[in-house]
Amino acid sequence: MAATGTPAPSGGQARRMQIGEAAERVGLSIRTIRHYHDAGLIVPSARSEGGFRLYTDSDLHRLALVKRMKPLGFTLEEMRELLTTIDTLAAEPRTDGERAVFLDRLAMYGEAAHARIGSLREQLAIAEGFADTLHQHLERHTQQVG
Amino acid sequence: MAATGTPAPSGGQARRMQIGEAAERVGLSIRTIRHYHDAGLIVPSARSEGGFRLYTDSDLHRLALVKRMKPLGFTLEEMRELLTTIDTLAAEPRTDGERAVFLDRLAMYGEAAHARIGSLREQLAIAEGFADTLHQHLERHTQQVG
DNA sequence: CGGACTGTCACGCAGCGTTAGCGTTT
DNA sequence: TAAACGCTAACGCTGCGTGACAGTCC
């Protein structure tokens, strides 16, 4: 199967925009979006005759989703899997067995997310502590001068 | 000048340990510590005759300091500068002018730290929001099955 | 037609992980 | 002496940034 195909176009004819507009809209660099393509994370719905990547709103949603995932520190590979997992679940029911598998995956990502949040909190605490230390240094040395 | 020389040994004869023990104590990998050396960030106080890096408690403190700095997202280069800045201030007073320069640097790092903390908070918020989204997906699909 | 936009290499960078092959310490 | 431990290359990996050079769009 092709890495991460966009699900069914929602309704009317999808607007197709080039990478530049897509980039501006989601707030990612063109280079980043191309990289996501190369990595098989988000494959544009189509190409122009000349070879330009064409993105739909659906693609934009995925890009936005990935942008939101980034702070969780997942690798592109992991995000790719999560995306396909979500898509698969959102699409057809398939076998009950398959559903179970994908639900499991989703749950695993949920746990991973919580773990990430935990370490983000730790990092924040450490960072704050360190900032304090810095300020103490500053005050100490400032006193002697002023 | 040698990148980041360890300041004066505090009191008695410093215990000198090899990289393995140092690594275990501060909770950094051997490879990381070697990398910090190569980068001129933390140069071991001495070498054995055979060429083994020998670290003192003072070195350990620096390693621990760097470990605490990491969550702030500074580059090794920046941390190196910050270390030397702190050392310089802690050591001799030098010229008033020099003091001012280094105090300025310290202040700049303080601001940078605050900025980092801000973005860490943002990331945390985004991460939490995303975790929520994941859980909603989970519940939605779980209902249909259970 | 021209200028903005996009395409594909392909190298660079941080921060280590990971062999590989070979000395050092104890 | 041998088991641990360490050393120096040197390549690998992730996630893009940054050209360079050429084709596409409007």
Average pLDDT, chain B: 88
Is residue A115 pLDDT above 70, yes or no?
yes
Give the pLDDT confidence score for residue B9 in this predicted structure. Answer: 45
pLDDT of residue A93: 65
Q: Is the pLDDT of residue A84 over 50?
A: yes
Whether B120 shows a pLDDT value over 80: the answer reads yes
Average pLDDT, chain A: 87
Range of lowest pLDDT (A13-22, B90-99, B112-121):
B90-99
pLDDT tens readout for residues B100-114 = 888 999 999 999 999
By the CB < 8 Å criterion, does A1 face chain B?
A: no
Q: State which of A101-115, B38-52, B85-99 shows the largest mean pLDDT.
A: B38-52
Quote the CA–CA distance of A47 and A56 in Å, as a whole number. 11
Q: What is the mean pLDDT of residues A34-62?
A: 96
Band of the pLDDT at A145, cuts 50, 70, 90?
A: very low
- CB contact (8 A) between residue A110 and residue B142: no
Chain B positions touching A103 (Cβ under 8 A) are 138, 141-142, 145
Per-residue model confidence (pLDDT) at position A92 = 76
- Give one DSSP letter per residue of chain A, joined into a string: --TT------SSPPP-EEHHHHHHHHT--HHHHHHHHHTTSS--SEE-TTS-EEE-HHHHHHHHHHHHHGGGT--HHHHHHHHHHHHHHHS----HHHHHHHHHHHHHHHHHHHHHHHHHHHHHHHHHHHHHHHHHHHHHHHHHH-
Instruction: Return the pLDDT at A4.
Output: 47
- Shortest-distance nucleotide from A51 CA to C1': C7
What average pLDDT does range B108-133 have in this prediction?
Answer: 93
- Residues paired with B17 in a beta bridge: B55
Q: Which residues of A touch B99 (CB under 8 A)?
A: 141, 145
The pLDDT value given to residue B7: 52
Is the pLDDT at A19 greater than 70? The verdict is: yes
Q: Which strands form B53-55's sheet, in the order they lie side by side?
A: B17-18, B53-55, B46-47
Those nucleotides of strand D lying less than 7 Å from any protein Cβ are 5-8, 14-18, 23-25
Query: Of chain A residues 49-108, which have a beta carbon within 7 Å of strand C?
Result: 51-53
pLDDT at residue A6 is higher than 50? no
pLDDT per residue as tens digits for the range A119-143? 999 999 999 999 999 999 889 888 6
- For B1-58, the pLDDT digits (tens) are 334 454 544 445 679 999 999 999 999 999 999 999 999 999 999 999 999 999 999 9
In contact, B126 and A73? CB cutoff 8 Å: no
Nearest to A72 among B99, B127, B145 (CB): B127
Closest to B131 (Cβ–Cβ): which among A86, A93, A113? A113
Residue B141 has pLDDT above 90, yes or no: no
